Amino acid sequence: MNRNLSRCPLTSNTTRICSNNSVDTAVEVSKIVFTHMKPNTVILVNKNRVFDGIAATPLVHLPINASLLFTDGNMLRQETLSEICRLSPKGYNGIHVILVGNISRNISLTLNHYGFRTYHITGRNHFETACRIPTIRKKFQNILIVSGENYSEGIMASYWSAHHGDPILYVQRNSIPYCTLESIKKMNEINIYIIGSTKTISEDVEKKLSQLENVKHIYRIDGDTPYDIAVNFAKFKDSKTKFGWGRNYKEGHAFTFGELDHPVDIIAGVSLAHMGKHTPLLLTGNNMIPSVVEKYIKSIKPIPPKDMPRPPFMHGFILGDISYITYPAQVMIDKTLSIDHELMSMD
């Protein structure tokens, strides 16, 4: 068998991003999303800084329209440089590559050598780096509040931010960092969406945020587990503000599936929420699909007509090779997405 096929098998309802590290995952996603279009810029993040990566995702959205790539913290990876050269970004306000967070100036110098203009967004820590992003995005009505201590309950926010451009700010479980508080105070009539349960963001923090004078609406998307939270976020739509995916009806939906032990690879897939099928994130296990995810997909899967299958169909992008998400898990995802089983059970 072809080596790539054995590592990254195919099914009719899934597309697997064939990689076993976050740098390659980001490159492969970039190649899928930006096949015939050029991004305005590239977002570049240290592959070892998951919170910098989450904070950077709003920059993917229009008008910046960026591909998100990763590299080593002190050296530009050759595969990343090759993809930037292939993309040949058009420039956003004259900038070709935006570096975010804890990443060496040597990387900027290397990119400058190849003719790319760079801009670095960073703070003393990831809390402060996240606070700098709203000054770049500028036009938005919503912000997402996630834990800056535990990524597992907030990582799904990155897909919405890449899709819609809403900034992400960090809090601690029982306190709000100064820069986060000041950043929110500078905003005009803002809606806040807390992503995560009280295990990662306390009710006291929620109460303090709700008492800010310029906050006109606050809502928490939570759940018992990260799997539940991802499902609840995919279903959620705020009728007042129009915030949220609203994938809660029977239709041909598409999703990206990631595994929590590989958070940077999950972030590397956010361009799939920005372009193409505009996918929310669902979380899966290494060798199984959680029952809450399976139940959710079945609840929104279209009922095929009795005479002949026709669109809309479901689809799933799977992040990483079989060391990340096994083939048996992929088969379970494919079966859950497929309308063929329902078709064959009809009289």
Which pLDDT tens digit goes with each residue over 90-110? 999 999 999 999 999 999 999
Rounded-to-integer distance, Cα 258 and Cα 319, Å: 6
Rounded-to-integer distance, Cα 55 and Cα 273, Å: 15
Sequence-distant (6+) residues with CB within 8 A of 167 are 58, 130, 133, 134, 137, 140, 143, 144, 161
pLDDT at 254 exceeding the cut of 80: yes
Beta strand spans in the chain (E): 14-17, 41-46, 66-71, 97-100, 118-121, 142-147, 168-171, 190-195, 215-221, 254-258, 281-283, 315-319
For residue 177, which of 209, 150, 154, 207 has the smallest C-alpha distance?
Answer: 209
Query: Within a domain: residue 12?
Result: no
Give the single-character DSSP code of 11.
B
Predicted local confidence at residue 1, as pLDDT:
39
Residue type, 340: D
Predicted local confidence at residue 6, as pLDDT:
81
Query: Within a domain: residue 43?
Result: yes
Top-confidence range, 94-98, 250-254, 341-345? 94-98
End-to-end C-alpha distance for the chain, whole angstroms: 38
Which pLDDT tens digit goes with each residue over 284-337? 999 999 999 999 999 999 877 666 666 778 999 999 999 999 999 999 999 999
Distances (CA, A) of 164 to 45, 73, 145, 235, 268: 20, 28, 15, 16, 17
Give yes or no for a contact between 218 and 230, defined as CB atoms under 8 angstroms apart: no
Share of the chain above pLDDT 90, in %: 90
Sequence-distant (6+) residues with CB within 8 A of 61 are 137, 161, 162, 163, 164, 165, 274
Rounded-to-integer distance, Cα 143 and Cα 133, Å: 11
Rounded-to-integer distance, Cα 96 and Cα 115, Å: 9
Question: Span 200-221, mean pLDDT?
Answer: 98
pLDDT, greater one: 205 or 346: 205
pLDDT at 344 exceeding the cut of 60: no
Query: Within a domain: residue 306?
Result: yes
Assigned token pair, 179: 């820069």
Mean pLDDT of the chain: 95
Query: For residue 167, is the peptide bond before it cis, meaning its omega torsion is within 30 degrees of 0?
Result: no
Predicted local confidence at residue 138, as pLDDT:
78
Give yes or no for a contact between 319 and 282, defined as CB atoms under 8 angstroms apart: no
Predicted local confidence at residue 306, as pLDDT:
63
Query: Within a domain: residue 206?
Result: yes
Helix, strand counts (H, E) of the chain: 15, 12
Assigned token pair, 75: 């050296």
Domain hosting residue 196, numbered range: 18-344
Question: Span 251-273, mean pLDDT?
Answer: 97
For residue 57, which of 146, 154, 160, 143 has the smallest C-alpha distance?
Answer: 160
Q: DSSP characters for 224-240?
A: SSHHHHHHHHHH---TT
Give yes or no for a contact between 132 and 166, defined as CB atoms under 8 angstroms apart: no
Query: Within a domain: residue 1?
Result: no
Beta strand spans in 52-198 (E): 66-71, 97-100, 118-121, 142-147, 168-171, 190-195
Predicted local confidence at residue 18, as pLDDT:
93
Query: Within a domain: residue 2?
Result: no
Question: Span 3-17, mean pLDDT?
Answer: 87
Predicted local confidence at residue 302, as pLDDT:
87
Phi, psi angles (nearest 5°) of residue 11: -140, 165
Give yes or no for a contact between 53 and 103, defined as CB atoms under 8 angstroms apart: no
Distances (CA, A) of 96 to 28, 60, 91, 112, 120: 20, 13, 5, 10, 11
Query: Within a domain: residue 6?
Result: no
Q: Into how many domains does the chain fold?
A: 1
For residue 23, which of 8, 6, 45 has the smallest C-alpha distance?
Answer: 45
Query: Within a domain: residue 173?
Result: yes
